[in-house]
Each structure stands twice: as C-alpha cells, then as structure tokens.
A and B are shown apart, each in its own frame.
Chain A
Amino acid sequence: MMRFLSWAYLAATFAFILLPVVVLVVFSFQDGRLPVPPFRGATLRWYGEILGNRALMAALRNSLLVASGSALVSVVLGFLAASGLARVALPGSALMRGVLIAPMTVSYLIIALGLLQMFNQVGIRPSLIATGIGHVVINLPLCFAILYAAMGEHQRNAMRAARDLGAAEWQVLWLISVPMLAPAVAAAFFLSFTFSWDEFIIAFLLTRFDVTLPVEIWSMLRSGLSPKTNAIGSLVFLVSVVMVVALELTLFRKART
C-alpha cells in the first residue's frame, strides 16, 4: 500500500514538474500558428525562423558574452578574495566575509534598482557592460562562498610548503591553488555562467539597445503565444541541459569516486 502510494505520488509530482517543459518542446514543432492543442504535425519551420532572426541571434551572442565575461570576473575576484581570507586572520575578516556575502540576501530587483539609479547619477548609460557589472555583483558572493569553503587545511599546507620552497606569490596561486581547486573553480564558473545566462530583471533595467536573450524573449511574449517562442525556449533549455549533464559527468562523477 505504502509502496503503491509512493510510486503514485512520484509519478504525479514528476508529471507536474515536467509538464510545462514537455508542452514547450512538443509545441515548438507545431505545424500551425498557435502552440496549443491539437498538435497538427511536426515541422522545423520555427527553428528555421529563429535561427534566421537577426535580433534574436544578436541577443544570443550578447548573452553568451555577458555570461562568460561576468562569470570570469566573478571567479577571479572570488578566488583572490577567498585565498586572501583563507591565508591569515586579518583584522575584521568576519566583517569582510559578511560584506562579500551580503548581495546574496538581497533580491535581484533591488540590486538592479540601486545600480540603475547610481549609473543614472554618474552618467553611465544602460549597456551590456552595465549589465555585466550587475551580474558580477550577484555571482561574486557565490564564487567566493564556494571557493572559500573548498580551501581547507590541506590546501593551506601545500601553499605554505610552496612558499617555503621559494615560490613567488603568483606562482603559489597559479601553480598550487588553481589546480588543487580546479573542480570548485569550474563549478563556480559554470554556476555563475548559468545564473547570468538566465538573469532577467537586472538585464531588463540595465540594457537598452543591445539586449540579452531573456530580455529579447520577454519582448517576444508581448505579441502573444507563438511556436517561435517555444522554439527559442527549447533551444535555451537544451543549452542548459547540456551544461548540467556536462557538469554531472565531469565534476561530480570524479568527486564521487
């Protein structure tokens, strides 16, 4: 009885969780103008249309650019800060950790609003750079937390040994820390990339002419339901799934064995 109930519950919740994604992907192949039942047969027409759509492809490139750039900056800043704070007990290091983590507890809308006003004041126009700066603000705490947690006693000893053997500071970081922390560095980078890739509200408020993909999709929504939106949504989903599967196969598999 309990077993039957368990499986029924599992099936029902999985159906609920996967339903929107399945509907999204299935109706991206709809041979008709509306992505709602009945399904009129399969076509790749909408995929062709979005791949030929200039604005959409430009937004895709912008998103890749902002995501990789902001993830890179976040990882580098987070890595440096983590190695600094893991190395010695600085006066006020608890406060510094607090400040670095703080943006995590504030909703993106508030971060975006603050940046928008400050940029207005000092005359920085909404742009991809402005958006990238915002994305570093939200991802830096994450990178710092991941990398700080990964720096254990073992790591500190190896760094000390390298220094005693005469390695310069940059050599210690680049030749000892980075390789030792490679899985954590990669995880921090991919997570930051995914969050930036997906982020809407900061990009919406801080871009104007060059926009990122979520903002472009948002403006497509205004013209109502369309299989075109399904197609681009399915493509974005595919990219994320590939990322997650890659992470699963490389990092986590290695970590488990």
Chain B
Amino acid sequence: MRIETRERRLGAALVAPALIWTVAFFVLPFAAMVWMSLAHLDGRMVVPGPDAGNYLRIFTEPSLRRGIWVSLQITAIVTVISVLLAWPLAWIIAMRVPPQWRRLALLLAVLPFWTSYVVRSYSWALVLGERGVVMNALTGIGLLSEPVQIMATRSATVIGFVHFFVMLLTLTIYANLVQLSPNYARAAEDLGASRFQVIRLVILPLTLPGVVTGAFLTFVLCIGDYITPQILGGNNELTVPQLIMLQLGRRGDYPMASALAVVLMAIVTLAYAACARWLRMDRL
C-alpha cells in the first residue's frame, strides 16, 4: 500500500509539468478568449460583458455572415476534390507500384509537404500568375488566346489547398490500404467479383476509416487556415481566419476576433461530432 502511494505521487509529479504548461498556456488563454468574445468594443475601449452582441452581429451583418458561408463552401469543395484525387493515388502506390519502389513513390508524393507552408503558397502564386508557367504553356500551345485570371480568385485558393491536402490524404489512405490483408480481395475474386467490383464493394468500404480521418483533418486544417486564402485568394472574398486577422489588425477589435474564433471552434466541434463514429484518431 505504501509503495503504491509513493508510485502514485511520483507519477503525478512526472505529469505535473506538462499539465501545468497546458493549463497555463492553453486552457487559461482559451477561457480568457471566450470571456473576451462576450465583451464589446466601444471606440478603442474594451467594455467587459457578458453580452452576446458580437455573436448577434456575426449572424446578422452580411460581411461576417458571408465569411462563414465562404469558409464552409471552400472547405467542402477542397475536402471532396482532395479525397477524390488522393484515393486513386494511394491505391496505385499501394497496389500497382512494385514493392521496392513503393517507399520512394510515397516519399515523392508527399515531398512538398515538407516545404514551408508560406513558401508553398508563394510557389502557387508563381505558377498561377498571369505570366506564370501555366498561363504561359496554355497560351503557348494555343489553348487560350489570352491569359485567364486565376490568382486572387477562389480557384487559386482551392488549388493551393487541394495540393496540400491530396498529400495528407494520400498518407492516411495509404496507411489504411497497406494494413488490409490481400485475402479480402482474393476471396472476392474467387467468388466471381470483377476487378472493379473488388475495389468498389470490398476495398473502398474497408478504407472508410482512413478516408474519414483524413477528411476530418482536411476540414479542420482547411477551415482554420489564414495563409493560403490570403496569399492566393486575395481580398475579394474573405474567409473566417482572414476576417479574424482583419479585426485584429485594422480595428484592434479583440472581442469580435475572439467571437469569430469561438464560432470557428464550434464549427469544428460539430464536424467532429458528425464523423466521430468513424474517426480513429489513435490510428494516426
């Protein structure tokens, strides 16, 4: 009994520093932010709440409400396109590429994952610009008579995001595919399934956990990102993170920025609840 108490005390002492750090620099600031979201700005003075004025404004003021809508749309489009592109890629690498080349193929498929996030968005700005490589090639071979504006539109934001999340999803789906025993496919083939049926009816459903986990990560990271829409999408339509930065920078409106952050958080929580059934975060 005495040994057990001592053990416990030691265990608690070992956990304490990390726990204190997390509470001091994550839980407390978060609580402070929620409290701040219930205050409001009067001139340049923060008037403590609690009042729900900021939240009312978010859902009534067109520019703010539109931001949430834009963010949700972009995130949904990006998630769907990324899954559709990544699944076949992961499947080809796991099933078609000869085993000795598999690791190299995977490494290449996620190579830009390791470049700096800011630099990656800048690279797309280079590629997609009016005088960039893509427009140059398209006008060069005569497919377009004049460059089309892609930069500073939603398309540029979506392309930049899809590029990043195809890599992420390829990783999660690949991890799922290589865990599958080849016996499933073999059994289905023995029972007379065509190759396409094996993929559609056997392998695809079995990779659902990987797909949902990856899609959830995509959703969370995409809806909270400021860099990609700011560099590639410009200021024509603002996403929620861009609105938050705008409140901070131009107006110093911390209460409104906090309220927007809380709404963002709520959206992510809802998304989590929606796919919690299939999420296997421990698999990562």
Contact = CB atoms under 8 A, between A and B. Distances in A.
Whether A associates with B in a native complex is: yes
A10 B7 contact: no
Interface string B207-250: 00000000000001101111100010000000001001000100
A110 interface: yes
B191 interface: no
Given A23-B123, A100-B18, A90 B12 contact: yes
Nearest to A225: B126
Contacts of B92: 6, 9-10
B203 interface: no
Contacts of A221: 118, 122, 231
A169 B117 contact: no
Nearest to B95: A6
B247 to A, nearest CB: 10
A233 B132 CA distance: 17
Contacts of A229: 122
Interface in B239-275: 241, 244, 248, 254, 257-258, 261, 264-265, 268, 272
Given A23-B133, A99-B23, A113 B15 contact: no
Contacts of A84: 10-16
Interface stretch (B56-64, B106-114, B176-184): B106-114
B16 to A, nearest CB: 8
Contacts of B103: 248
B8 interface: yes
B127 A198 contact: no
Contacts of A2: 195
A240 B10 contact: no
Given A9-B92, A37-B133, A110 B27 contact: no
B150 interface: no
Nearest to A197: B116
A19 B108 contact: no
A140 B21 contact: yes
A117 B36 contact: yes
Nearest to A121: B32
Contact of B33 (A9, A23, A114, A137): A114
B11 A87 contact: yes
A126 interface: no
B7 A20 contact: no
A130 B112 CA distance: 29
Given A20-B126, A105-B272, A117-B33, A217 B17 contact: no
A214 B116 contact: yes
Given A10-B89, A87-B10, A107-B268, A81 B17 contact: yes
A10 B97 CA distance: 10
Contacts of B123: 20-21, 23-24, 233
B246 to A, nearest CB: 13
Given A115-B29, A233-B116, A96 B14 contact: no
A140 B18 contact: yes
A237 B108 contact: no
Interface of B: 4, 7-8, 10-19, 21-23, 25-30, 32-33, 36, 85, 88-89, 92-93, 96-97, 103, 105, 107-112, 114-120, 122-127, 129, 131-133, 136, 163, 166-167, 195, 220-221, 223-227, 231, 241, 244, 248, 254, 257-258, 261, 264-265, 268, 272
Given A201-B227, A240-B115, 17 more contacts: A20-B112, A20-B120, A21-B115, A24-B123, A84-B13, A90-B8, A90-B15, A100-B19, A107-B241, A109-B264, A110-B261, A113-B248, A118-B29, A121-B32, A144-B18, A229-B122, A236-B119
8 contacts: A17-B166, A80-B14, A109-B261, A137-B26, A217-B122, A236-B115, A244-B107, A244-B114
Interface of A: 2-3, 6-7, 9-10, 13-14, 16-21, 23-24, 27, 34-37, 77-78, 80-81, 83-85, 87-88, 90, 96, 99-100, 102-103, 105-111, 113-115, 117-118, 121, 133-134, 136-137, 140, 144, 169, 194, 197-198, 200-201, 205, 213-214, 217-218, 221, 225, 229-230, 232-233, 236-237, 240-241, 243-244, 248
